[in-house]
Amino acid sequence: MTDTLNAFQEGIRNGAQIALSYALLGAFAVAIAHSGLPQSLAGAVIKRIDAGGAGIGAGGMIKYMLFAGLITMSCFSQNLIPIHIAFIPLLVPPLLLAFNRMHIDRRLIAFY
């Protein structure tokens, strides 16, 4: 009985540490979202789109750079920087206006 209770308490202790880590990660993501950094990134992309268009040339290059950036950030969010839970709600919603301006199907982004 003592071994069972000790194992149960150890499991709760480990679960609490993981829950606290995720809570702190969520707070960090909210702080980044409220800082305006993702919105300023989206604003910079939209300014470049409006300046160069979304066709061939500089505007088309913006589209591919955005894809490459999202793919790179998604790889880093899982392996290098531990913000994998907050990656999508942090970066993608501010970029939806840019996706609309470039006529990008959002399913293409979800595919990658």
112 residues of the chain, pLDDT tens digit each:
888 888 888 878 777 777 787 788 778 878 887 888 888 888 888 888 777 654 455 557 788 888 888 888 777 776 766 666 666 777 778 888 888 888 887 777 666 5
Residue 28: other Cβ atoms inside 10 A: 14
The answer to whether the predicted template modeling score (pTM) of the entire model surpasses 0.85 is no
Q: What is the pLDDT of residue 58?
A: 55
Q: Where exactly are the structural domains of the chain? A: 29-111
